[in-house]
A and B are shown apart, each in its own frame.
Chain A
Amino acid sequence: MALLVDKHRPRTLETLTYHSDLSARLRSLAASGDFPHLLIYGPSGAGKKTRITATLRALYGPGVEKIKIDSRVFQTSSNRKLEFNIVSSNYHLEITPSDVGNYDRVVVQDLLKEVAQTQQVDLSAKQRFKVVVINEADHLTRDAQAALRRTMEKYSPNLRLILLANSTSNIIAPIRSRCLLVRVAAPTEEDIAGVLARVGKKEGYKSCEPLERRIAKDSGRNLRRALLMFEAVHAQNDNVTEKTQIPPPDWEALIEVIAKEMIEERSPQRILQVRAKLYDLLTHCIPATTILKTLTFKLMPKVDDALKSDIVKWSAFYEHRIRMGSKVIFHLEAFVAKFMRLYEGNLMGMDMDFDD
């Protein structure tokens, strides 16, 4: 059974809900014939991929939805073999180069050249160029990005890129300079509630507007998350009401427990107990950044105003260390210890932030 998130994904620009201005812009770009390279950015679950899939359909027609997945092997200069998955239709292909980590440059170099040098297979294709969609473009290494630069210019008659990213900060300036940047804002809470109502109707769920609004609010304006929560609530309750509990995901519940524990007692033993739970989260593949961020925001309502800005400061500090370092647990634990010290200091009326 398909999940709601896949089942009711709008497939054409006309049927996309919310951001109708943006849909109109994409439509006019697709119709203009000189479609540019695009860099689509916006928060997770805002609907970037959905919009792009609809745009491709506007460019090439429904044929673009007939996709298949190939596995290809690339050889690095050190003769390592890399296996890599490619999703493609007759007109486009889609890759996630961050799957191969630091070898992404090889894949980008080889693949794009190959695409650029091939003709359109379908002679009646509506566009002369083919499109390559690059997922998680903000995770491309600098080398891989550099490899895109001249390719984007030289092969522009045959090839257009669509880069998808959560943020543009990690995209090098020469690439940004070659793309049309398109921002996809997260849908508002009303937008989300509207989508839930519509999906609920199609599924034959009992409609309950206050619950839908509550889910929209709890989702943090992430539509994917809202849809997952919506499905879970209806799977667990035959009869939903205004007051039905929205169960948070397990990992989030566990972080809430950690936050409570850190407030209750500040001691070395407590740090040990918390560490066990942090390990638990990490072994369930919750990214360290997500853990740290969620923990920080769960601590906030529980602490004195005077402390808040320092806590954010250290959270941001250790998040940076997580990126740069190699052992994420060190930095998570350091944050826990730091928090406890700040908290104690505040209780004793002292400024304990003397590492500054």
Chain B
Amino acid sequence: MASFFDIRARQAAAAATASSSKQQTPTQDNRLQPWVEKYRPKSLDDVTAQDHTVTVLRRTLQSANLPHMLFYGPPGTGKTSTVLALAKQLYGPELIKSRVLELNASDERGISIVREKVKDFARMQLSNPPAGPAGEEYRKKYPCPPYKIIVLDEADSMTQDAQSALRRTMETYSKITRFCLICNYVTRIIDPLASRCSKFRFKSLDEVNAGKRLQDIAKLENVPLEDGVVDTLLRCSEGDLRKAITFLQSAARLVGVVQAAPAADKKRKRAKIDDDEDEDVMDVDQPSSSNLVTVRSIEDIAGVIPTNTIDNLLTAMQPSSKGTVYGRVSKAVEDLVAEGWSATQIVTQMYEEIVIKDDTTGDWQKARIVLCFSDVDKRLVDGSDEHLTILDLCLQVAGILGER
């Protein structure tokens, strides 16, 4: 049996596919791509809901100047997509390889790499756009400004030392090189670096824009949605569009709508989101209601605990005459844990019900209850045992509720 890592076997395999892989229909690959990649913004115009950032960056397309940049914000809000789109629009397909270096947390980025790889790239001569009339055409499409871009994605996982080493590099080569740092937690970027960059905050996607995007994708993929599905997607994904798109695709796969392969002439349109898709939708077989993506299926995929399960737990925590509080609560928690619900999800939904929604509980009680939540959150992140931790939380809260 050929080994996974056997170089020769691999090369042979590679050689064998090399000729055929050219012909491999890209359209088929496209259809089988995860939607998050398929609908990754291809240009700045496709980036949703980050208006401020997009406006500023679009200006740089004209002015040919760019500061060092720091993009920060929660997962799935378009940071990586934006910088990739910007790079594409600035340099076009010919130059992007030689002008843009992307390093992310999956690359070795210790201090020595920053010293060497980044520095080497930073000081390299600028590559030239194609010459002649073709080049002129090219330049009309892509401004090709006279600097390179180094993208350090997921920069918050770089060590402090490695970040420090960047400072000098940034200054020394600033004539021909711009840096773009991307992170989730801006506080993990050392101050001397952060202060050298223009900061762009990526907001959690607001409901209107994210909803529109999801609706567009559903339409392009011919996925019929039950009423309220988009709202549920938005609620369950907490402003993370990648998550929302993943949920949508999973739900679609599960009801089997994805298999409806589009006819050849529709493919090209599909690659791009545009509005005049109605006719396409019309001539596809009317989806039967069994193919409908439902609210419950989305919640299921998102790991949301059903309302009645949470209600059971809350009821068990209320003082009552039936059995002891410990007896009821410990049973309810045991079941939740055996069902595999994630502790963070349990905590989130409990918080929602007890602290936010319930207004029969007094403020003084709530003030003490939130202290318990704070403790528990920290412990879970530290990797404490979920069963004990959740049981503790529920008993403490039940104790406080029982005091009235």
B-binding residues in A (CB < 8 A) = 25, 28-29, 32-34, 36, 41-43, 46, 66, 68, 70, 72, 77, 88, 90, 93, 109, 112-115, 118-123, 128, 138, 142-143, 146-151, 153-154, 156-157, 167-170, 173-174, 176-181, 183-186, 220-221, 289, 292-293, 296, 300, 305, 308-309, 312-313, 315-316, 319-320, 323-324
B337 in contact with A43 (CB, 8 Å): yes
B242 A150 Cβ-Cβ under 8 A: no
The smallest C-beta distance from A334 to any residue of chain B, in angstroms, reads 15
**Cross-chain contact A66 with B1 (CB below 8 angstroms):** yes
In whole angstroms, how far apart are the Cα atoms of A168 and B104 in the complex? Answer: 24
Chain B 12-56, CB within 8 Å of chain A: the 1/0 string? 011011000000000001011110110000000000000000000
| B interface list, Cβ under 8 A from A | 1-6, 9-10, 13-14, 16-17, 29, 31-34, 36-37, 74-76, 80, 104-108, 110, 112, 153-154, 156-157, 184, 240, 242-243, 246, 249-250, 253-254, 256, 258-259, 301-303, 324-326, 330, 337-345, 379-389, 391-392, 395-396, 398-399
| Inter-chain contact B246/A146, CB cutoff 8 Å | no
Contacts known (A115-B4, A323-B382); A315 close to B388, Cβ less than 8 A: yes
| B154 and A150 within 8 A (CB) | yes
Contact in complex: A157, B154 (CB < 8 Å): no
Q: Show 12 A/B contacts (Cβ-Cβ < 8 Å), sorted by A.
A: A72-B5, A115-B4, A121-B6, A122-B2, A147-B106, A156-B37, A169-B343, A178-B242, A181-B303, A183-B342, A300-B326, A315-B392
Q: Are A34 and B253 in contact (CB under 8 A)?
A: yes
The count of A-to-B residue pairs whose CB atoms sit within 8 angstroms is 205
Q: B residues within 8 A CB of A112?
A: 106
Q: Which residues of B contact A319 (CB under 8 A)?
A: 384-385, 388-389
In the complex, the answer to whether B108 meets A109 with C-beta atoms within 8 Å is: yes
CA distance A106 to B165 in the complex (A): 21
CA distance A296 to B389 in the complex (A): 13
Return chain A residues, CB-CB under 8 Å to B395. 308-309, 312-313
In whole angstroms, how far apart are the Cα atoms of A214 and B357 in the complex?
41
Cβ of A138: which chain B residues have Cβ within 8 Å of it? 383
Which A residues touch B106, using CB under 8 A? 109, 112-113, 147-151, 154
CB distance B340 to A185 under 8 Å? yes
Which residues of the other chain, B, contact A143 by a CB distance below 8 angstroms? 157
- B387 nearest in chain A by CB position: A293
Interface centre among A33, A119, A151, A154 (most CB of B within 10 A): A119
- Decide if B340 touches A305 in the complex (CB within 8 Å): no
